[in-house]
Structure 1
Amino acid sequence: MARVPGPTIADIARAAEVSTATVSHALNGTGRLGDGTRRRVREVAAALGYGAHRGPRTRTLGFAVTTHAGWTWDFAGVAYFSRLLTAATSAAHARGYALTTLPAARGAEPLWHTLAVDGMLLLDSPEGDPVLRALRARGLPVVFDGRPAEPRPGDVWVDNDHEATTREVLDHLAGSGARRIALHSAFGREFYTAAVTSAYTRWCSERGRVPLVVPFDPEDAEGRAFDPAFAAPERPDAVYSLYDPGGRQVLAAAARHGIRTPGGLLLVCASEDPAYAEAEPPVTTVTLHPERIADAAVSALVNLIESGHTESPGQYTVPASLRVRASSLPPDMY
């Protein structure tokens, strides 16, 4: 493996988001800098290995879920992210790279300025993403899982066709007899949530239906957010939930209100959790195919690192799939 050159003052300046003159003053003990600035620049320089012997090292990709950056949560416990992480690790190893997974936790912000990686795979990057800002300042290659909220020319991302998938789900529910379909959404600030919600609103408008968006809360295990809707005279007779635990929340709320699923309520949930297939009733799910997304994203990132470009900047589309089960079918069809 080739010897990796040490970082330059320009590298440190990008990572610390200061000028090269500031870096020079901080490292040499000169200039009129605040103690905090001088200390931070030196910490960044040390983390990057400035001035140290840098022999051969393993090429490394970084992996981070940034839709809720700064909020401590276990994204590896979500089936979609867990499966994508496993697949990305295998894809990276197959191409001669290690994969480092970064935590979504308060206090982790300095990592983005000093992490020694060759490129980053960002999942669900939201508007104003501080992680992306730090990586761009460092000039690191980045590939996105999910369209970034603020893409730049040359950005590369891998995503599903959320418009087509949403329409397929809603058409399926309508074909099963649903007349009042609610969307369980409005939580994240990433492109996925916005794209599906917009597609749902357009679908309803085209058919003269009144949209109903029920807010998702990951802590709402009993599905209390559905209480007003399920108690209303014209309650929803179908729900499309966008998040992994959402299907369980809907079933819990329906049970508390004495609503049978199916029969009284049809349900589709976007999830990779195999437990939904074993539920009672078995729940119809949308799979976004995280393994295929991971392989495409890692391939694109390695190409960026090794050649400085990809064959086609922009979006690589991985089709999603609707796995129909009893929860979204009329009672006489299962």
Structure 2
Amino acid sequence: MATARATLTDVAREAGVGVATVSRALNGRPDVSAETTARVREVAAALGYRPSGTARALRRGSFSALSVIVPDSSWGWWEPVLRSAVTAAAEAGIHLFIHPATEGEGGLDALIEGLADVPTEGVIAVSVPDQLAIRAACDRIGLPVVAIDDSVHTLHLATVTVGNREGARQMTEHLIEQGHRRIAFVGAAMDELDPSWGEGLFIEERLAGYREALAAAGIPVDEDLVLGWRELGDETIELVAPLDDLLAAGDHPDAIFCVADLVAPAVLRTIARHGLVVPRDISVAGFDDERAASLMNPPLTTMRQPYDEMGRLAVDLLRTAIGGADTPVRYYTLPATLVERKSTAPV
């Protein structure tokens, strides 16, 4: 039977230091004392630890790469972020590996542990709900990690995000400026939110921005117009049930703000079912500016996430961490931009 290959974790346990210290010692980093470096190398030799050929290539400087963990789902808002990150990395002479977060054996832990044998210097985690698990797994193999996300309340990683609350407030103000007063909000039924949405922080923030804009304009929030859609994100659903019920009861909002662009197609179908026309009878707006926003009929007014800047900022933060500088655990927030198309119009 073959002997199991010694890992960084094995060396760290035997040497009595952290995995990150082992990684830095074996790579000859100056921030590890000569005594600790000698001890780590002695233990590594005794255990028969052998870094992979790709890791040796990294140390020689002949190859440089980063890894990106992405959701195991259809391409969505994060696809243009990923393209931007690839471009930013390439400009710095860095390759980018893409790893879908599948439901395979061992899950996320196994995926990240496997990166120990991949020529990668750090990890970008895109919209992965369990930041703590990623933090712990990356620490075990000595890899710095940052996130691109807006779904979790408690951060464990430096996280690039968009200004959801301010963006929603800006969109609601835009609808108010067009003369709309009865503005509905189609969000999610938070008590039945699919786990893939994480903790749904962005939904809460966008709803808060909507409420704040109405309050600032002196417009009371009609709770009957705050619609929690249980099938949020299910593209196979034809109609938005709570909106369908609202319109069937003869309750006609002036405008509808969708919590995300992916909600808008079902909203448009529901409106059309009741013989209403967008934007003549009801204006409709979204958030994200996914590619589909410009392909809808009519094209969707929305808040555009700064995809290019988000990808570049994530790469910059990760390179900073790789260089040994501090990257505080907090949100690094970029502003959204209003994109006006034909789905909204003045009353």
Q: What TM-score, normalized by structure 1, do the two folds share?
A: 0.73
One of 101, 105, 114 as aligned partner of 1:104? 101
Equivalent-residue separation in structure 1 for 2:326 and 2:7 (angstroms): 22
- Name which of 47, 63, 69 aligns with 1:64: 69
| Structure 1 residue 113: Cα displacement | 2.6
Indicate the SS of the match to 2:284: strand
- Matched with 2:239 is 223
Tell me the secondary structure at the aligned position of residue 57 of structure 2. Answer: coil
Listed one character per residue, the Cα deviations across residues 50-109 of structure 1 (whole Å, up to 9, x for unaligned) are 43553314332221235xxxxx522xx22x211111111111122232212121321143
The answer to whether 1:214 aligns with 2:214 is: no
Give the Cα–Cα distance (whole angstroms) in 1 for the partners of residues 337 and 154 of structure 2: 27
CA distance in 1, matches of 2:182, 2:164: 21
Following the alignment from structure 2 to structure 1, what is the Cα–Cα distance between the partners of residues 98 and 282? 39
CA 84–128 in structure 1, closer or farther in 2 if over 3 Å, else same = closer
- How far, CA to CA, are the matches of 1:324 and 1:111 in structure 2? 41
Contact 1:125–1:149 at 8 Å: present in 2 too?
no
C-alpha contact 2:284 2:344 (8 A) present in aligned 1: yes
Matched, 1:307 2:324: yes
Letter of the aligned partner of 1:65 in structure 2?
V
Q: What is the distance in 1 between the residues matched to 2:289 and 2:49?
A: 43
Match of 1:135 in 2: 138
Q: How many residues align?
A: 283
Is 1:330 the counterpart of 2:330? The answer is no
Q: Which amino acid aligns with 1:234?
A: D
Partner amino acid, structure 2, of 1:51: R
Matched with 1:243 is 260
1:151 maps to which residue?
Answer: 155
How far the C-alpha of 1:11 sits from its partner, in A, is 6.6
| C-alpha displacement of 1:289 | 1.4
Q: Is the 8 A contact 1:221 1:248 kept in 2?
A: no
Residue 184 of structure 1 aligns to a residue whose secondary structure is strand
Confirm or deny: 8 A CA contact 2:186 2:256 kept in the other structure. yes
Structure 1 unpaired stretches of 5+? 1-5, 14-18, 21-48, 67-71
| Aligned residue type for 2:239 | G
Give CA deviations for 1:125-157 in whole Å, capped at 9, x if unaligned.
4367644443345453121223553125xx422
Seen in structure 2, the aligned counterparts of structure 1 residues 134 and 221 have a Cα distance that, compared at 3 Å, is: same
Residues 1:222 and 1:306: Cα distance change in structure 2 (over 3 Å) = same
Partner amino acid, structure 2, of 1:217: G
Q: Secondary structure at the match of 1:327?
A: coil
- Tell me what 2:283 maps to: 266
Is 1:283 the counterpart of 2:300? The answer is yes
Counterpart-to-counterpart distance in 1, 2:11 and 2:305:
37
* Residue 176 in structure 1 maps to residue 175 in structure 2: no
Residue 81 of structure 2 aligns with which residue?
A: 84
Q: Distance in 1 between matches of 2:179 and 2:236?
A: 28
In structure 2, do the counterparts of structure 1 residues 93 and 218 end up closer, same or farther at CA, with 3 Å as the change threshold? same
The answer on whether the counterparts of 2:264 and 2:286 sit within 8 Å (CA) in structure 1 is yes
Q: Could you tell me how far apart the structure 1 residues matched to 2:260 and 2:132 are?
A: 21
Cα drift, residue 303 of structure 1 = 0.8
Between 218-227 and 286-295, the greater mean CA deviation after superposition:
218-227
Gaps of 5+ in 2: 1-5, 20-47
What is the CA distance between 1:236 and its match in structure 2?
Answer: 3.0
Deviates more, 1:289-298 or 1:201-210: 201-210
Superposed CA RMSD: 3.0
Task: Give the Cα–Cα distance (whole angstroms) in 1 for the partners of residues 213 and 140 of structure 2.
Answer: 40
Provide the residue aligned with 1:27 in structure 2: none
- What SS is found at the alignment partner of 2:321? helix
**Structure 1 Cα separation of the partners of residues 209 and 128 of structure 2:** 20
- Output the amino acid matched with 1:318: L
Aligned-partner SS, 1:115 = helix
CA contact 1:124–1:192 (8 Å) conserved in 2? no
